[in-house]
């Protein structure tokens, strides 16, 4: 491979910076490099591909080479953002592993503040060679967070994560300390990404599904087990019987005692 070809393949940081809140806008125009932007605070708009993308703090967008873009701040709450420009065929390969694409250049609601990683890259091109190598390492570190938070999953993988999460809840619902983070850790996925997939697949959040599962289990026990309300609460994953009663009534319109009495009377009726 020639030195020129190797240079074209290599992930290279071109420049980076910070734009404080003001009315600066750019475009319409095109770039010949990749430009990744992260909104630290405020709001703005990106226009590209005949689409308009309202953006806010925590969102990110990529300008792809030779794609016409126009972006500008919200007049009432102008954004503050950090940015990095980079190039190389390796850049396209890494971005293709995330949800970023020329037809969908925006990702929303980063679960963590990514702006410090952009500051690591400021003035990278003017540094000595060893600092340039470090800048490339910092750029890879930054992109690794986008790979973690916004992975481009293979077809069918999101549904698999959802099924694994439901299975884990079915096996561990009785734990009074079970949290959504526990479920996400068990299926080895970032919490906010699991939330989005789960909501899309089931129509409810992970926490709502857990409550629903626990209430269904409590109903089964109240109907047939003969356990006290306190024991049913514990068996369904609730440490506090009073809190359990409140959640149960909200879900069924009956207190646990009322539900137990009602269903035992129904069960005692002759056929």
Structural domain range at position 243: 161-267
- Contact present, 213 and 236 (Cβ < 8 Å): no
150, 177, 193 — which closes off a domain? 150
Q: Cα–Cα distance between 195 and 67 in angstroms, integer?
A: 32
Are residues 180 and 233 located together in one domain of the fold?
yes
Are residues 109 and 90 located together in one domain of the fold?
yes
Are residues 28 and 88 located together in one domain of the fold?
yes
Whether residue 85 is contained in a domain is answered as yes
Whether residue 217 is contained in a domain is answered as yes
Longest dimension (CA), the chain: 89
Of the candidates 214, 216, 213, 223, the one whose C-alpha atom is nearest the C-alpha of residue 261 is 223
Structurally, the chain folds into a number of domains equal to 2
- 5-14, 33-42, 106-115, 172-181: range with lowest mean pLDDT: 5-14
Instruction: Classify the phi-psi angles of 137: left when phi > 0, otherwise alpha if psi is within -120 to 50, otherwise beta.
Output: alpha
Are residues 165 and 257 located together in one domain of the fold?
yes
Q: How many helices (H) and strands (E) does the chain have?
A: 11, 9
Are residues 181 and 235 located together in one domain of the fold?
yes
Q: How many CA atoms lie within 13 Å of 100's alpha carbon, on the beta-carbon side? A: 24
CA–centroid distance for 18 within its chain: 24
Are residues 64 and 91 located together in one domain of the fold?
yes
Q: Cα–Cα distance between 189 and 261 in angstroms, integer?
A: 43
Encode 136-168: b = buried (16+ Cβ within 10 Å), e = exposed: bebbeebbebbeebbbeeeeeebeebbebbbeb
For the entire predicted model, the pTM comes to 0.55
Are residues 21 and 140 located together in one domain of the fold?
yes
Report the pLDDT averaged over residues 34-56. Answer: 94
Q: Walk across the sheet containing 51-56 and list its strands.
A: 26-29, 69-73, 43-48, 51-56
- Contact present, 46 and 101 (Cβ < 8 Å): no
Structure confidence by residue, pLDDT tens digits, 134-145: 778 888 889 999
Whether residue 6 is contained in a domain is answered as no
CA–centroid distance for 122 within its chain: 27
What pLDDT score was predicted for residue 127? 55
Are residues 87 and 205 located together in one domain of the fold?
no
Whether residue 1 is contained in a domain is answered as no
- Contact present, 12 and 137 (Cβ < 8 Å): no
- Contact present, 236 and 215 (Cβ < 8 Å): yes
Q: Angle, nearest 10°, between helix axes 256-268 and 206-224?
A: 50
Are residues 142 and 224 located together in one domain of the fold?
no
| Tokens linked to 208 | 């709502």
Are residues 127 and 55 located together in one domain of the fold?
yes
Question: Which pLDDT band holds residue 41 (cuts at 50, 70, 90)?
Answer: very high
Question: Is pLDDT at 148 greater than 50 in this prediction?
Answer: yes
127, 150, 173 — which closes off a domain? 150
Q: Which CATH number is 227's domain given?
A: 1.10.10.60
Whether residue 4 is contained in a domain is answered as no
Share of the chain above pLDDT 70, in %: 86
Share of the chain above pLDDT 90, in %: 48
Are residues 219 and 260 located together in one domain of the fold?
yes
| Tokens linked to 199 | 């909501």
The better pLDDT of the pair 35, 123 is held by: 35
Strand partners, 130: none
Whether residue 5 is contained in a domain is answered as no
Whether residue 143 is contained in a domain is answered as yes
Whether residue 226 is contained in a domain is answered as yes
The better pLDDT of the pair 130, 28 is held by: 28
What pLDDT score was predicted for residue 2? 42
115, 130, 150 — which closes off a domain? 150
Structure confidence by residue, pLDDT tens digits, 226-260: 889 999 999 999 999 999 999 999 999 999 999 98
Are residues 22 and 112 located together in one domain of the fold?
yes
Q: Which CATH number is 90's domain given?
A: 2.60.120.280
């Amino acid at each position: 491979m020639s030195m020129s070809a190797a240079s074209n393949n290599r992930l290279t940081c071109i420049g980076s910076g910070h734009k404080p809140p003001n009315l600066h806008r750019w475009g319409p125009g095109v770039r010949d490099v990749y430009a990744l932007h992260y909104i630290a605070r405020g709001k703005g708009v990106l226009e590209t591909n005949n689409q308009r993308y309202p953006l806010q703090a925590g969102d990110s967008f990529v300008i792809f080479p030779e794609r016409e873009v126009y972006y500008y701040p919200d007049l009432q709450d102008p954004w503050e953002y950090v940015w990095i420009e980079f190039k190389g065929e390796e850049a396209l390969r890494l971005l293709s592993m995330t949800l970023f694409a020329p037809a969908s250049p925006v990702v929303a609601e980063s679960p963590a503040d990514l702006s410090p990683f952009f500051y690591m890259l400021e003035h990278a091109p003017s540094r000595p060679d060893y600092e340039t190598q470090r800048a490339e390492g910092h750029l890879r570190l930054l992109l690794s967070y986008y790979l973690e938070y916004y992975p481009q999953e293979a077809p069918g993988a999101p549904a698999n994560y959802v099924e694994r999460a439901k299975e884990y809840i079915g096996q561990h619902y009785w734990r009074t300390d079970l949290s959504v983070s526990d479920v996400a850790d068990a299926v080895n996925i970032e919490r906010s990404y699991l939330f989005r997939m789960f909501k899309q697949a089931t129509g409810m959040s992970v926490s709502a599904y857990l409550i629903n599962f626990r209430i269904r289990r409590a109903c089964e026990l109240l109907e047939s087990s003969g356990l006290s309300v306190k024991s049913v609460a514990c068996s369904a994953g609730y440490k506090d019987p009073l809190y359990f009663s409140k959640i149960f009534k909200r879900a069924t319109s009956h207190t646990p005692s009322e539900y137990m009495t009602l269903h035992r009377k129904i069960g005692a009726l002759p056929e």
